[in-house]
Amino acid sequence: MDMIAEARALDAADPLADRRGRYLIPEGVIYLDGNSLGPASHAALAALDVAAREEWAEGLIRSWNAAGWFELPMALGGRIGRLIGAGEGCVVACDTISVNLYKVLHACLALRPDRRVILAEATSFPTDLYIAEGVCAAAGARLVLAEGPVEAALGPEVAAMLVNHVDYRSGALRDMAALTAAAHAAGALAVWDLSHSAGALEVGLDAAGADFAVGCTYKYLNGGPGAPAFVYAATRHHGAIRQPVTGWWGHARPFAFETGFEAAKGMKAFLAGTQPVLSFRALAGALEDWEGVEMGAVRAKSMRMTQAFINWVEAACPGLELASPRAAEARGSQVSFCHANGYEIMQALIARGVIGDFRAPDVLRFGFAPLYLSFEEVARAVLALAEVLESGEWREARFAERGAVT
Amino acid sequence: MDMIAEARALDAADPLADRRGRYLIPEGVIYLDGNSLGPASHAALAALDVAAREEWAEGLIRSWNAAGWFELPMALGGRIGRLIGAGEGCVVACDTISVNLYKVLHACLALRPDRRVILAEATSFPTDLYIAEGVCAAAGARLVLAEGPVEAALGPEVAAMLVNHVDYRSGALRDMAALTAAAHAAGALAVWDLSHSAGALEVGLDAAGADFAVGCTYKYLNGGPGAPAFVYAATRHHGAIRQPVTGWWGHARPFAFETGFEAAKGMKAFLAGTQPVLSFRALAGALEDWEGVEMGAVRAKSMRMTQAFINWVEAACPGLELASPRAAEARGSQVSFCHANGYEIMQALIARGVIGDFRAPDVLRFGFAPLYLSFEEVARAVLALAEVLESGEWREARFAERGAVT
């Protein structure tokens, strides 16, 4: 088969091929859903074991200091920061994206007290819009949803412009530097949601001049289900971060047990409550797998891989319509195709061991994580998809019933 | 030794003695700090293993549905609810106490739009006060700190009265029914922080008429370091819960991916972002250990144990001053003693394997968790404390340097 031979040649030239052994991919599965939940690695499971059996069970309360539990948010933030182009001390790991975005958008409104609009793209991942709505209602601000290019809706009332760096449905990649510059030219702050770009490509927050960012670690960073999220703030904003979820971990002196609140300097101002240590430790292990990995190499493989997938699908799977940008540099690390029966087709494909996901109304979504996927797997996934379409097996009743889709 | 003989007699009559084997207490440790971080149990570690090695590593994205990850907040909330006297569907597990209290206090201000004061005790655990301060600043309300009895400060402006059910320093137990009634008589809502009572005594939220409560699961419930917190709301408030951290898990239809927010009915309205599954699963295992346990039996043993500890310390350890209520029914499950050199004494005691903790300025704090402590251990802890005091070993330089104390 030509496609397989082509894939094997690409694998032979892949400088990241040796990373695959670090991850546990189940037998018989081709995993194209790492953009939704990354797989476990040996390092992540080992770190979790140490946290549970040594630090918790043996160390007990002493581990808060002895095992560095208190330092996990800044320590892991630093390791994430290296992967997204953030300077030392500019990233903290904590809470969830939703809660972090809530804090960030409040901080933006506090930095622009004369402006009362938050601008976001109507196509944003919904929780971003819901959180922006909640912040606006609480702070007496107004949420404006741009239906077209978000920068066209900038204006003198906009305090913050919220952009999803990679669109969760189409995989379209936004130009962070250009959009940030446009926001700044209009006097607004630029806030980036990195959920679908952190760990997938070179984000370059500092270089782009971004103001704030939030992101998750359970997709391309492989931190585990519901792993801790993170927040970035440019150095110029440190010291002026005012966010209302003022819990004790965000206090300048948390163990002085003072009655009044005084915000910590720097990124600790985004902390609030005691963090889930076991989930942090799994993430810590997952981040070990990124040591020595250059994001440029990840991005190069990702672009080759998504391009090969598009070529092969378009050659072998008639009836699917590309819903992602055709130019590799305009895509994140995912490819989406539309089909009116996308749900049933994805279910039939999953039944064959090729795991992608579906987004309403008609999007088949495939994620490509360069650290553990081979080109041969991608080619075999395309062959499976072609067989599902050709055989018509997706028409079977067992694929038609819709459950919750993640 | 009389004290040991007395302890052994108490152990022989202890109906909860057989629970001890479920927990991993390190060799050579007497653990009197379960009110800060509960120990690991075999069930908790086993559940964590299943979550990591089966649900995550094998099930991957499929586990969100197949392993019930989405249902964990309400499912674990229900199991916690049974232990704190909350009806079905009145508790949800999520986020941290700080974040949850933030949501609850906003919900209170929304329920009492004509009142703009949050009343709290000046002796509350600091994060409660910091969060209340943050909520007030964000909502244009005012935080009033009661220095004396909190109910004396109730008045027509008070929207919510926030009370720590058990004081974290003294262990004093508040009368939930009486204080709630006082709040209601003044037109205010009663909000309870159960951090030091959930899992230690019969809380009885519904019976007391409480409006809202928050609490943690990493102390007496043994859910693991930084384990998920929980929120309670009385049934009469369901459907009217308006809190501003409106993330997708709190949406009425989270998977419809709608652009606008509509709050879920009931307790799911307190959810926001994707929750840390691994930490949830450890908690799920820990809650298995509570099946079949009656809180009345836990409370009875706790009262006997704290009473025995006070008797023995006062007999054997001159120079320590009781800082907890003397009447067992007025105490939670902890006992505090004051000493000007409390910090050094606690360090010397910990060096002997008896782990309690210290709270500034001079409080030695000891927690008594009835599910895994024996009376003989408590007696041996008292003997160790007496030896530390008598020998003067706490004066050694190695105990004098203060680090972060948790």
Residues in chain B: 406
Instruction: Give B-chain residues touching A102 at CB under 8 angstroms.
Output: 244-245, 247, 272
In this prediction, residue B88 has a pLDDT band, given cuts at 50, 70 and 90, of very high
Q: Whole-angstrom Cα distance, residue B74 to residue B264?
A: 13
pLDDT score of B388 more than 90: yes
Residues B16 and B80 in one domain: no
Q: Is residue B365 part of a domain?
A: yes
| Average pLDDT score over chain B | 96
Name the amino acid, one letter, at A148.
G
pLDDT at A1: 58
Among A271, A288, A305, give the residue marking a domain's end. Answer: A288
Catalytic amino acids of B? 125, 193, 218-219, 365
> CA of B373, closest CA in chain A: separation in Å?
15
Residue B194: name the closest of B69, B307, B304, B85 by CA: B85
Q: Is residue A406 part of a domain?
A: no
Q: Is residue A260 part of a domain?
A: yes
Percent of chain A with pLDDT over 70: 98
Contact predicate B154/B182, CB 8 Å = yes
Range with lowest mean pLDDT among A263-267, A402-406, B262-266: A402-406
Residues in chain A: 406
User: A296-335 b/e with 16+ CB inside 10 Å = b?
Assistant: eebbbbbbbbbebbbebbeebbeebeebbbeebeebbbbb
Q: Whole-angstrom Cα distance, residue A341 to residue A394?
A: 8
pLDDT score of A406 more than 50: no
The minimal CB distance from A276 to the residues B52, B97, B226 is found for B226
Instruction: Give B-chain residues touching A44 at CB under 8 angstroms.
Output: 52
pLDDT score of B405 more than 50: no
Q: How far is CA A388 from CA A92, A344, A345, B54, B189, in A?
A: 44, 10, 7, 28, 58
In this prediction, residue B403 has a pLDDT band, given cuts at 50, 70 and 90, of low
pTM reported for the whole predicted model: 0.97
Which positions ≥6 away from B401 have C-beta within 8 Å?
none
pLDDT tens, residue by residue, B6-64: 999 999 999 999 999 999 999 999 999 999 999 999 999 999 999 999 999 999 999 99
Residues A196 and A268 in one domain: yes
> CA of B138, closest CA in chain A: separation in Å?
6
- The set of long-range contacts for B343-346, using a CB threshold of 8 Å and a minimum separation of 24, is B343/B399, B343/B402, B343/B405, B344/B394, B344/B395, B344/B399, B344/B400, B345/B385, B345/B388, B345/B389, B345/B394
> Beta-strand (E) ranges in B11-99?
30-31, 91-93
Q: Whole-angstrom Cα distance, residue B108 to residue B139?
A: 11
Name the amino acid, one letter, at A200.
A
> CA of A179, closest CA in chain B: separation in Å?
22
Cβ <8 Å between A98 and B127: no
Instruction: List phi, psi (to 5°) of A22.
Output: -75, -20
Cβ <8 Å between A259 and B145: yes
Contact predicate A217/A79, CB 8 Å = no
Residues A155 and A123 in one domain: yes
pLDDT score of A404 more than 90: no
In this prediction, residue A399 has a pLDDT band, given cuts at 50, 70 and 90, of confident
Residue B263: name the closest of B276, B281, B245, B288 by CA: B245
Mutate to test the interface with B, among A279, A350, A362, A402 (most CBs of B within 10 A): A279
H/E stretch holding B232 reads strand B230-233
Q: Whole-angstrom Cα distance, residue B382 to residue B317?
A: 8
pLDDT score of B245 more than 80: yes
Q: Whole-angstrom Cα distance, residue B308 to residue B383?
A: 13
Residues A284 and A315 in one domain: no
Instruction: Give A-chain residues touching B24 at CB under 8 angstroms.
Output: 57-58
Cβ <8 Å between A70 and B404: yes
pLDDT score of A405 more than 60: no
Instruction: List phi, psi (to 5°) of B137.
Output: -60, -40
Q: Is residue A97 part of a domain?
A: yes
Cβ <8 Å between B60 and A96: no
A193 is catalytic: yes
In this prediction, residue B1 has a pLDDT band, given cuts at 50, 70 and 90, of low
Instruction: List phi, psi (to 5°) of B2.
Output: -60, -40
Cβ <8 Å between B52 and A359: no
pLDDT score of B208 more than 70: yes
In this prediction, residue B406 has a pLDDT band, given cuts at 50, 70 and 90, of very low
Q: Whole-angstrom Cα distance, residue A162 to residue A102?
A: 12
Instruction: Give B-chain residues touching A131 at CB under 8 angstroms.
Output: 245-247, 272
- Lookup result for tokens 């971990």: A249
Check whether the bond before B225 is cis (ω within 30° of 0).
no
- Both tokens assigned to B295: 């809180």
> What's the domain count of chain B?
2
- 3-state SS, residue B341: coil
Check: complex ipTM more than 0.85: yes
Cβ <8 Å between A226 and B280: yes
Residues A139 and A226 in one domain: yes
Residues B69 and B30 in one domain: no
Tell me which chain B residue has its CA closest to the CA of residue A44.
Answer: B52
Name the amino acid, one letter, at A9.
A
- Supply the CATH number for residue A28's domain: 3.90.1150.10
Residues A209 and A73 in one domain: yes
Contact predicate A14/A301, CB 8 Å = yes
Instruction: Give B-chain residues touching A122 at CB under 8 angstroms.
Output: 259
pLDDT tens, residue by residue, A27-83: 999 999 999 999 999 999 999 999 999 999 999 999 999 999 999 999 999 999 999
> CA of B2, closest CA in chain A: separation in Å?
31
Q: What is the mean pLDDT of residues A145-150?
A: 96
Q: Whole-angstrom Cα distance, residue B30 to residue B374?
A: 10
Q: Is residue A104 part of a domain?
A: yes
Which positions ≥6 away from A363 have C-beta within 8 Å?
A169, A323, A336, A337, A338, A342
pLDDT tens, residue by residue, A172-217: 999 999 999 999 999 999 999 999 999 999 999 999 999 999 999 9
Mutate to test the interface with A, among B23, B29, B53, B248 (most CBs of A within 10 A): B248
Mutate to test the interface with B, among A217, A245, A373 (most CBs of B within 10 A): A245
pLDDT at B404: 47
Three-state SS for chain A is: CHHHHHHHHHHHCCCCHHHHHHECCCCCCEECCCCCCCCCEHHHHHHHHHHHHHHHHHHHHHHHHHCCHHHHHHHHHHHHHHHCCCCCCCEEECCCHHHHHHHHHHHHHHHCCCCCEEEEECCCCHHHHHHHHHHHHHHCCEEEEECCCHHHHCCCCEEEEEEECECCCCCEECCHHHHHHHHHHCCCEEEEECCCCCCCCCCCHHHHCCCEEEECCCCCCCCCCCCCCEEEECHHHCCCCCCCCCCHHHECCHHHCCCCCCECCHHHHHCCCCCCHHHHHHHHHHHHCCCCCCHHHHHHHHHHHHHHHHHHHHHHCCCCEECCCCCHHHECCEEEEECCCHHHHHHHHHHCCEECEEECCCEEEEECCCCCCCHHHHHHHHHHHHHHHHHCHHHCHHHCCCCCCC
CB pairs under 8 A between A and B: 290
Q: Whole-angstrom Cα distance, residue A339 to residue A86?
A: 39
Q: Is residue B404 part of a domain?
A: no
Residues A116 and A158 in one domain: yes
- Both tokens assigned to B238: 């369901």
Among B261, B288, B315, give the residue marking a domain's end. Answer: B288
Which positions ≥6 away from B152 have C-beta within 8 Å?
B146
pLDDT at A401: 65
Q: What is the mean pLDDT of residues B179-197?
A: 98
| Owning domain of residue B52 | 47-288
Q: Is residue B406 part of a domain?
A: no
Residues A62 and A176 in one domain: yes
Residues A126 and A257 in one domain: yes
- Supply the CATH number for residue B140's domain: 3.40.640.10
- Both tokens assigned to A308: 């090969």
User: Hey, how many other C-beta atoms are within 10 angstroms of the C-beta on A175?
Assistant: 15
Among A253, A271, A288, give the residue marking a domain's end. Answer: A288
Residues A253 and A351 in one domain: no
Tell me which chain A residue has its CA closest to the CA of residue B134.
Answer: A244
In this prediction, residue A110 has a pLDDT band, given cuts at 50, 70 and 90, of very high
Q: Is residue B405 part of a domain?
A: no
Residues B302 and B235 in one domain: no
Residue B103: name the closest of B265, B261, B271 by CA: B271
Contact predicate A196/A334, CB 8 Å = yes
Q: Whole-angstrom Cα distance, residue A227 to residue A219?
A: 9
